[in-house]
Amino acid sequence: MIDTPKNLTRNILVGLILGFVVGAFLFYTNFFPSSVDAFVEKYIFKMGGDIFMNLLKLLVVPLVFFSLVTGISSLGSSQSLGKLTFKTVGFYLLTTGIAVSLALLAGSFFQPGSNYSSDIAMAAPSSLPQGQGIYSTIVGIFPSNIIQAMAENQMLAIVFFSIIFGLALNKTNHLTGNLSDSFAKLNTVFLQLIVMIMSFAPLGVFCLIGKFVIADGLDIFQDVLAYVVLLIALLLFHAAFTYSMFLKFIGGLNPLTFYRKMKDVALFAFSTSSSAATIPVTLRTVNQDLGVNQNVASFVVPVGATINMDGTAIMQGLATVFIAQMSGIDLTLFQYIQVVLLAVATSIGTAAVPSAGTITLIIILQQFNLPLEAIGIILAVDRVLDMIRTSVNVTGDAAIACIVAKTENQLDENIFDSKA
């Protein structure tokens, strides 16, 4: 078993707090000349954060490929894969539907946008991310060039290719001298690389948080306080309550044990704002700390990072209601149902990278002729909220992995219940 750096949670938390403190000190005081602040922002916070993120992204594609191929090639039959896929996708879409429904209900009840009176400019940013249509999303699953798809981090295409490659390897393993064993060994090598890079996680987190705070401060939250508070409350409620119900009543597992062992992953996801960048940490925790069989974890976690966007769905639902209320537009019951369906459907094509939910929010706003310019308000406070959303997303990935493994008798409950 690959060892994890000691006291990682404590060190990441220290790095996170120091990033906030140092960033806020430089932003709110004039203790140093502006040239010093600019140097710290660019050559310490930004450069350090970018290097750390690049190192993580370096591992994402090969890790997803080797872990999926290893997991699928080791499954007993294609029938086992079909059953596993049905359960995994079904649970993910169900929790996403619950998430966006929860957001719409809370938004309708608390009316966060009804008394909006901010002077924040509602002009859209000069370059908004372009939404990906349903046609492009579906066609993009089937790559014409897998090397290009890997270079461009097209996760759905990579997952599809990895699945069919793993199936082919499963059927030809007896003809290739157990080639799947070589893939399993390569997967272990990449897991070791993760541990090596994670040794620098506290420093990376310090730079990432510091870069955010020194650039924007915390004042942006004052103007849309009702939206921010309600969104954070919904995210925490969904992470704590919905997943607890699934773990307890479907998986028969102790939620408190699960959350205790997930604290490293949640903190790491908070700092990176990327489900994809967190895949290595999630995989290691799900397998080694929560007892999910490696084959199941290697399939469920990468798929979850691609299609399970509960935190993003909550943001999309609440942001839609907030913008509609702010604009004086009343959404009908049928439109609420459409928001649920759109949020669930578009979550499948949402990239697992920072602020990718903004892309699918544009699609929803356009569907109901809501003012696209208002997205500038959402973007003004989205950076830190995106950190919390990502923590919710990866928590959901791990929870579903545990539940699927338990229903498939692929969960070592001794490891899950252990205090380590």
The pair phi, psi for residue 370, each rounded to 5°, is -80, 150
Spatial distance between the Cα atoms of 361 and 381, rounded to a whole number of angstroms: 15
Token pair listed for 114: 């009804």
- The region that residue 252 occupies, defined by phi over 0 for left and psi between -120 and 50 for alpha, beta otherwise, is left
Look at residue 255 in the predicted model and tell me its pLDDT. Answer: 94
Spatial distance between the Cα atoms of 57 and 29, rounded to a whole number of angstroms: 34
Residue 318 lies in a domain: yes
The one-letter amino acid code at 19 reads: G
Contact (CB, 8 A) for 280 and 298: no
- CB count within 10 Å of CB 10 equals 10
3-class state of residue 301 by DSSP: helix
Spatial distance between the Cα atoms of 171 and 75, rounded to a whole number of angstroms: 10
Residue 347 lies in a domain: yes
DSSP tag of 6: T
Q: Count up the domains in the chain and report the number.
A: 1
Spatial distance between the Cα atoms of 286 and 298, rounded to a whole number of angstroms: 10
Residue 104 lies in a domain: yes
Spatial distance between the Cα atoms of 332 and 338, rounded to a whole number of angstroms: 10
Contact (CB, 8 A) for 25 and 213: no
pTM of the model: 0.69
Type and span of the H or E element at 104: helix 78-110
Look at residue 15 in the predicted model and tell me its pLDDT. Answer: 84
Spatial distance between the Cα atoms of 298 and 283, rounded to a whole number of angstroms: 7
Its domain, for residue 258, covers 78-176+220-417
Contact (CB, 8 A) for 242 and 98: yes
Spatial distance between the Cα atoms of 144 and 162, rounded to a whole number of angstroms: 14
Residues in the chain: 420
Look at residue 55 in the predicted model and tell me its pLDDT. Answer: 83
Spatial distance between the Cα atoms of 51 and 61, rounded to a whole number of angstroms: 17
Residue 250 lies in a domain: yes
Spatial distance between the Cα atoms of 388 and 271, rounded to a whole number of angstroms: 9
Identify the CA nearest to 309 among candidates 334, 276, 267. 276
Look at residue 247 in the predicted model and tell me its pLDDT. Answer: 94
Look at residue 120 in the predicted model and tell me its pLDDT. Answer: 42
Residue 37 lies in a domain: no
Query: CATH number, domain at 108?
Result: 1.10.3860.10
Look at residue 95 in the predicted model and tell me its pLDDT. Answer: 93
Contact (CB, 8 A) for 397 and 268: no
Residue 182 lies in a domain: no
pLDDT per residue as tens, the chain (420 positions): 556 566 766 787 788 788 888 888 888 888 888 888 889 888 998 899 888 878 877 877 787 788 778 777 766 555 666 788 888 888 998 999 999 999 999 999 988 877 665 444 444 444 444 445 567 767 878 989 999 988 887 777 887 888 888 888 888 877 877 787 888 788 778 777 877 887 887 888 888 878 878 876 766 556 578 888 999 999 999 999 999 999 999 999 999 999 999 988 898 888 877 777 788 889 889 999 999 998 888 888 888 887 788 988 898 899 888 888 887 778 888 888 878 877 776 665 555 445 556 656 766 776 677 776 666 667 667 767 888 988 999 999 999 999 999 998 999 999 998 876
Spatial distance between the Cα atoms of 41 and 35, rounded to a whole number of angstroms: 10
Spatial distance between the Cα atoms of 166 and 67, rounded to a whole number of angstroms: 10
Spatial distance between the Cα atoms of 145 and 154, rounded to a whole number of angstroms: 11
Q: What is the DSSP annotation of 175-231?
A: TTTSHHHHHHHHHHHHHHHHHHHHTTHHHHHHHHHHHHHHHH-SGGGSTTHHHHHHH
Residue 317 lies in a domain: yes
Contact (CB, 8 A) for 290 and 398: yes
Residue 47 lies in a domain: no
